[in-house]
Each structure stands twice: as structure tokens, then as C-alpha cells.
Structure 1
Amino acid sequence: MGETEARPPTLVFSTAMQIILLGRELQRRLEAELVQFGLTMRHLGALGHLSHRPDLSYSDLARRAGVTTPSMLATVRALEELGAVSRGPSGQGLPARLEITESGRELLDKVRGLIADLDRDLLASLPEPEREALNAALRALVPPPGR
């Protein structure tokens, strides 16, 4: 390779690696905040899915989270113990309907505030036009659900 040819960025400065490293740091920070509510990222994901789709089964939730159904059962039980989720009555062979409770909705609202704070901290050094451009670019890169 001649000296005038473009070289790929070093691994640490590749876009993918920067996004991965940033994502890990943001996840670590959010997880540290979630502890005060007795939540984990898996709890938060299940709550978020159920807030939009209360008809999801344990298997559906597990598939979306990339975990086993027994693992999701434990996650939902923990959410029930927190009072964030309740099981509606099941009918003749039909699975129980999982519903987010008022307490669960309040938890989600508190977590939305935490995430807004993370966003504010993350973007504080960028001027508004760059914030908007970054958000637009990230939205374009995020694959649609189920892909």
C-alpha cells in the first residue's frame, strides 16, 4: 500500500467501534440509575414492550429480548413483585394477559426522565443543528423492529 492510498481508520476510531463503546458507557450509566428503582435493562425492555403491546406473550417478550422464555418468566415475576405488571385473568386455555400497572407507567415515566438526562449530558457539547443531524442519522441507521 502506497503512502498516498487511504488507510482504514484504526479499530478504535472506526464508526462502529465508537458507537459500540459509547453504547456500552451509556448502558452502564443507565443501569446504575435503574438500580434505585429495582430495575434492570431487561425489566425496562419488558415494561416498554408491554406498555405498547399488552397482548404479548412470555415467548414474544423473550424473543424480543433475545432470552429464553423461562428467563422472561423470571423477569415478569420480578416486575409483578415490584407492582409494575399484573396478570389479567386467563380464559379456557388462553394465556394470562400481562398488563402494565399504574405503578409500572410511573416507573417508565421516571426512566424516561433518566434517559432525557443522559441525552442532555451526551449532547451538551454539540450545537443544536449538530444534535438534530446526529439524531436523524442515528434514526436512519437503527434497523426497524423485528429485523
Structure 2
Amino acid sequence: MSETPPPASAAFLLMALGRRIREEVEGALKNEGIALRHLSALGHLAPNPGLSYSELARRAGVTPQSMQATLAALEARGAVARDTDPGRGRTAELHVTPEGTRLQRTAMAIIAEVDDRLRARLDDESHQVLTRALFTLFRGEVE
């Protein structure tokens, strides 16, 4: 007698799939010498040059110290430039450089490739339904 498998948990499936996708994207980004945290910082800073470390950290959901380390790595790579001298208590005037824009484009192309592989496993209607459902879930909060 075969047992019927338990009903699938949407939360568990989303977490497991998210972990797989994250690992795939992070692996490809590593080949470019960056990580998701770098992409996140660039993504928040590009449209808002001059944001403080604290504000960037808040938007990215990390500590200010972590954001400082992330931005220091991006600055060393030439992806972010500082228009003010570093110093305690000073607001850093940071902006994304052309190298940072190139890194963003490269990362977004990597993510698009992963998305294309996911999309290829679904018909158009299923993809549209899934995308709408994910947007609905993303806009709401888990209670």
C-alpha cells in the first residue's frame, strides 16, 4: 500500500527554491568577483547618490558596519567613488562609477539567465500566474 505524500507547503517550497536560486546566482556572481551584498548596495546607491552608510544599511537590511565593509570593497574595486574625505561623523558622499554600472549590468544579466531557465520550465500561462502570485505575496507581509 503506497502512502499519499503530505500536501506541499508553499512556504517551504519558496524557501527551498529561493535557496537554490540564490546559490546559483551567488556562484555566477562570484566568478565576477562580487556578491549579492555588493549588488544590493549598488542597486540602492545608483538612483540615490550621497545616501549615508546608515541609510544604505537600513534599506539593505544590514548593519551600518556591514555596509561600510561592503562599500569599502566596492570602492577598492572602483565601483563606488567617495567625493568626501573619510572621517568619523562625516556623511560620505558616495556614488556609483561606470565600473559599478558595468557590474550591475553584468549581475542583472546573470539573474536574467537564471530567470530564463526557470521560465523555460513553465508554459506562458503558468509563468504569468506564478509571477502575479509572487508579486501579491511580496507586497503583503507574513504575519
Give the alignment's TM-score, normalised by structure 2.
Answer: 0.85
Instruction: Report the counterpart of residue 135 of structure 1 in structure 2.
Output: 131
Q: How many residues align?
A: 132
User: Gapped runs of 5+ residues in structure 1?
Assistant: 1-8
Aligned to 1:105: 101
Match of 1:58? 53
1:23 matched to 2:31? The reply is no
Secondary structure of 1:140 counterpart: helix
* SS of equivalent residue, structure 1 residue 52: coil
Question: What is the CA RMSD across the aligned residues, in angstroms?
Answer: 1.7
**Separation (CA, whole Å) in 1 of partners of 2:112 and 2:31:** 17
In structure 1, how many angstroms separate the alpha carbons of the residues matched to 2:135 and 2:50? Answer: 27
| 4+ aligned runs moved over 4 Å, structure 1 | none
Gaps of 5+ in 2: 1-5
Percent of residue pairs bearing the same amino acid type:
43
Tell me the residue number matched to 1:3. Answer: none
Aligned residue runs from structure 1 range 32-71, under 5 A: 32-71=27-66
After TM superposition, the score normalised by the length of structure 1 is: 0.82
Name the stretch that deviates more: 134-143 or 73-82.
134-143
Look up the match of 2:3: none
Helix, strand or coil at the partner of 1:142: helix
Q: Secondary structure at the match of 2:100?
A: helix
SS of alignment partner, residue 81 of structure 2: strand
